[in-house]
Every structure is written in structure tokens, then in C-alpha cells.
Amino acid sequence: MDKIDLNLIRETFKNTIKEMKQIVDNVDFFDQYITTLIIHSIDNNKITLLAKNDFSQQIINNNYLSKIEEMFNKNIPLINFEFFVTTKEKIPQKKEFTKNNIMAMAEGVNKNYTFTNFIVGEFNRKAVLSSKSITSNNFINPLFICASVGLGKTHLLHAIGNEYNKKFPFKLIKYISADDFAREIYIALCDQNKMAIETIKTKYEKYDLLLIDDIQILLNKNKIREILFNIFNNNVANGKYVVWTSDTDPDNLDGFEQRIKSRFHSGIFATIKKPDKAMLKNIANKKIKNLNADIVLSEDALNYIVNRNNGDIRRLEGQINQVFFFASSNSLKNPIIDLQTIKMIFEPSNKNEIKKYGLDFDPNIVIEQVALNYGVNANMLKSKSRIGKLINPRNIAMYILRKKCDMTYAHIGQLFSGRHHSTIITAINNVEKLLNKNIDLKNIIEKIYYKI
């Protein structure tokens, strides 16, 4: 049975219960037992209701069930439904309420992605708090979540769907990527049936909660974007919830009309920033703990993994899975995975970095670590700016990339806004002169290099 039928059943049953008030003589019985009836399952044309207890089940069966069935079927065309009433205690465990029936209302929602297994830090706190408010009166509609690839925005969408589904089991929920939505609209536009688009609009306007992922892919799809915008307007106007995600701030979605950008900002706008290294290590350690493995990563091995990902949590988790797959597939005498072992595990995937940079990691990590140590902006270090506070850390970054990482002058120059190799050499020589006078500088450089 499709989701439109389920919505019709839900609304018709609610209206039927209201009508029953006219024929139930005992007001207290109606309030306590008739209004608390809920639909447990729908199997073809058979609807099973859950009563509050054995007493109410018996009274409803003997006196009211046939009337409920009659009133309900009067308002449902074509199909004649049969009703049954039971209690939760009498339902076999194998037909678990939430898993078999309730999740059917959450179309496309992955039940494995919840708020419980989503790691929260300062980098994503606002997005998480805004998302969790979906089941409260504090939710501000619509919600727009902005985050780069791999920072958990898709996980959050599914978590919103699962939380809403748990609190409101008979509300209709739909998760869809903007790419899949575009494909569905494109097929309808190619259909010779002029009502195909209207059918899709009707379908999406039925959902109580619509979760749309990666809206930025509609950048050059004007007609599809217009259809989605109309659905969005109608849903919000009718009190339905909409949550969007994008890898770009709404104001930077070039190609989107201003009225659409304005709509994105009409509710709550929450950004997930890249987590810092300390948070990434925390995420990595929690992932390792969840795997329940008997092995651990040395500090330098953990640093190596964390620094290879440039803040991409999804990629970080994937690489930890690789490490534990290696550990479980090989008989390791030492339970501690050291740096040498880590480099061996990732040797095949290192080839792309080596081909691109001449290193087995992104050299921007070095620049970010130096910038962090000196309290300056990494992008400013790479720029042509000659501000005094940038000169020393910029020279140190160049020194580490050349002397510690053995990067070519040409590659270093490319990183720093196309600087000539002679400029790089001068910068490195200046650092070497400072090292002869300043012992602390050597410790600072070793510390930064260790973190890489």
C-alpha cells in the first residue's frame, strides 16, 4: 500500500473516532478508551487496532467495533476494510510495533542514523540542537543545515527523521536526496501525461516532514528547482516541516533566485564547521572504542590518520575501519598499531597524494598546524600578504615542507600563491639562521612536525 493511502487511512480513522462520540453513551469510556485506540498495523485490507487494556478490548469488540468499521468504510472508496482490536501485550514479539509498522511511515529514512550515535562538539552544536527541536514546540520551520562533505549533515537528516517518527509514529516522513528528486521530476517532465508533475506535487505535499539532502545540486536545474520551491511553499504554509541541507551557504548558491535564498533564511540556518584536531581525535577514539577491538593506536599513528583527512569525519571513520580490518585479518603480536604499520596499511591509497604533492599527505596540513601554533589564518599564510605577523610563521611552514617533508621548491611555491623558488630558498635560510640562535624554535618545529 503506498504512502498516500496510509495518509488517507490515518486521517479517515481520526475522523471516524470523532464521529463515534455521537453514539457512545458513556462519555468517560469514550475519553479513556475510544480516543486512545491507535492503528497497530495494516495488512492489505485488514486493520488491527490497539486498545488500552483487556477490559476496553472486550467492550469495543462487543459494542463498537462494527460501528467503527462501518463509519470508516463509508469514507474510503473502493476498498472495504476489516477491523480487529487487540492489546499490546497480546501481540507476538516477532511483530514488533516500531520496527515492522511504524518505520513504514518514514520513507527513505535510515534507522541506523540517530542522535544517539552522532558525536556532538562545538563545531556542530547549533545544528544538532536545532535538529533535536523537531519534536518540540520550539522547532522553527524550515531548518537549513550547511556543511562541507563528510561532516555529518546526512546523518543529521536521518536522525531528525527517526526522532520525529518515534514521537509521531503516524506522521508521514520522506527523506530524499536532491539528485533523486531531480531524477523523478525529469522523468515526469518527459512523460506525455500532462498531470505527471501535478501528481508528484500532490505526493510530496502529503508528507508531514520532508528531508531534502544536498540542495546545491539543483544549481543549473531551473524548472526542477521551481517545482521544488512550489512544494516547499505549500508544505510550510500548511504547517508541514521541511529540512534542507547544502554544502554551500544559501547566499552563495549562485543561480538560485533571491526569493528562494530568502526562503532558506526564513527559518533557522545552522552551519557545521570543520572540527579541530582535538575533536577529530576524540571522534576517532570513540569510533575505535565502538569497534570493541583489543588493539589501540599509538599517538603518532592516530595523529597520522587524523591529519590525512582535513576535517572529513566520514573519511576518518572509513580509514579507522580499514585499520581494524587489517588488524582482524592479520595475526598481530603487538596489540598497538604504530606509525610504521599505519603507513603500510595506507600505502595503496597514499599514491594519489604522492602523485599530487610528492608527499603521502596533504601539505596544507603543515600550513594549518603552523597557523594554529602562531594564531594566524592559514589562508593568509598562503596569500601574497606582507603583513609582519605572517612572515615568520610563513617561513617556518616553508622550512618544514622542504627540510622535514622533502617537498620540492616548485610545489612549495604553488602552495604559497605562486612564489618563486628563490623566495622559498631565502625563507628557509632565514629560519636556519634563527635556529642557530633560538633553541626554542627547534622545539616548536619538532612539535609541529610531530603533530603531522
Shared domain for 145 and 239, answered yes or no, is: yes
> 134 and 238, same structural domain?
yes
Q: Minimal CA–CA distance to 165: which of 127, 96, 237, 111?
A: 111
- For the stretch 286-305, pLDDT in tens is 888 877 667 788 888 888 88
Q: Say if CB 118 and CB 159 are below 8 A apart.
A: yes
pLDDT over 50 (residue 321): yes
- pLDDT range class, residue 158, cuts 50, 70, 90: very high
Alpha-carbon distance of 318 to 417, in angstroms, equals 32
Read off the pLDDT band of 3 (50, 70, 90).
very low
Same domain for 328 and 185: no
pLDDT at 121 over 90: no
Residue 441 maps to which CATH number?
1.10.1750.10
| CATH number, residue 70 | 3.30.300.180
Instruction: Write the DSSP symbol of residue 291.
Output: T
**Over residues 319-334, mean pLDDT:** 76
pLDDT level of residue 4 (50, 70, 90 thresholds)? very low
Identify whether residues 248 and 302 lie together within a single domain.
no
Mean pLDDT rounded to a whole number for the chain: 83
Q: Is residue 355 part of a domain?
A: no
User: 129 and 238 in one domain?
Assistant: yes
Same domain? For 38 and 146 the reply is no
Q: How confident is the model at residue 211, as a pLDDT? A: 95
- Final residue before a domain boundary, out of 272, 287, 312: 272
Residue that the C-alpha cell 596499511 belongs to? 345
**241, 272, 303 - which closes a domain:** 272
Using CA atoms, how far apart are residues 219 and 232, in angstroms rounded to an integer? 17
The 10 Å Cβ neighbour count of residue 434 is 15
Q: Does 249 lie in the same domain as 165?
A: yes
Q: Last residue of a domain, which of 97, 125, 153?
A: 97
As a whole number, mean pLDDT of residues 108-127 equals 90
**Would you say residue 354 lies in a domain?**
no
Taking each helix axis as running N to C, give the angle between helix 222-237 and helix 196-204, from 0 to 180 degrees, rounded to the nearest 10: 40
**Residue 333's domain is classified under what CATH number?**
1.10.8
Residues 138 and 262 in one domain: yes
Pairwise CA distance, residues 209 & 242, whole Å: 6
- Answer with the residue of higher pLDDT: 308 or 379: 379
Q: Write the pLDDT tens digit of every residue in 221-279.
A: 888 888 888 898 888 888 899 999 998 887 777 667 777 777 777 788 898 988 888 88
What integer is the mean pLDDT of 127-141?
90
Structural domain includes residue 90? yes
User: Within a domain: residue 351?
Assistant: no
Query: How many CB atoms lie under 10 A from the CB of residue 158?
Result: 22
C-alpha span between 273 and 148 (Å, rounded):
8
pLDDT of residue 137: 82
Q: Are 273 and 120 in contact (CB under 8 A)?
A: no
Peptide bond into 142 cis (omega under 30): yes
Quick one: what percent of the chain has pLDDT higher than 70?
Answer: 90
Q: Is the pLDDT assigned to residue 351 strictly greater than 60?
A: no
- pLDDT score for 358: 56
Whether 422 is covered by a domain: the verdict is yes
**Pair (55, 189) in one structural domain:** no
pLDDT of residue 5: 64
Q: How far is CA 4 from CA 16, 105, 172, 205, 374, in A?
A: 18, 10, 9, 10, 59
Same domain assignment for residues 145 and 264 = yes
Number of domains in the chain: 4
In a domain, 353, yes or no: no
Q: In this predicted structure, what is the pLDDT of residue 128?
A: 94
- E strand residue ranges, 188-298: 209-213, 241-246, 268-272, 296-297
Whichever domain contains 250, its CATH number is 3.40.50.300
pLDDT band, residue 360 (cuts 50/70/90)? low
In this prediction, residues 64-85 reach a mean pLDDT of: 84
- Is 358 part of a structural domain of the chain? no
Domain coverage including residue 82: 3-97
In this structure, the answer to whether residues 164 and 238 fall within a common structural domain is yes
In-domain check, residue 357:
no
pTM of the model: 0.59
Q: Is the pLDDT of residue 102 over 60?
A: no
Rounded mean pLDDT, 324-330: 77
Residue 208 has, within 13 A of its CA and on its CB side, a CA count of 21
- Residue of 446 and 426 predicted with greater confidence: 426
- State in Å, rounded, how far the first CA of the chain is from the last one: 55
Rounded Cα gap, residues 102 and 170, in angstroms? 7
pLDDT exceeds cutoff 90 at 197: no
Neighbour-count burial of 117, counting CB atoms closer than 10 A to its CB (0-12 exposed, 13-18 middle, 19+ buried): exposed
255 shares its domain with 131: yes
Is it the case that residue 209 has pLDDT exceeding 90? yes
**Could you tell me the CA-to-CA distances from 182 to 175, 177, 217, 218, 231 in Å, in that order?**
14, 9, 9, 7, 13
* 94 has pLDDT over 70: no
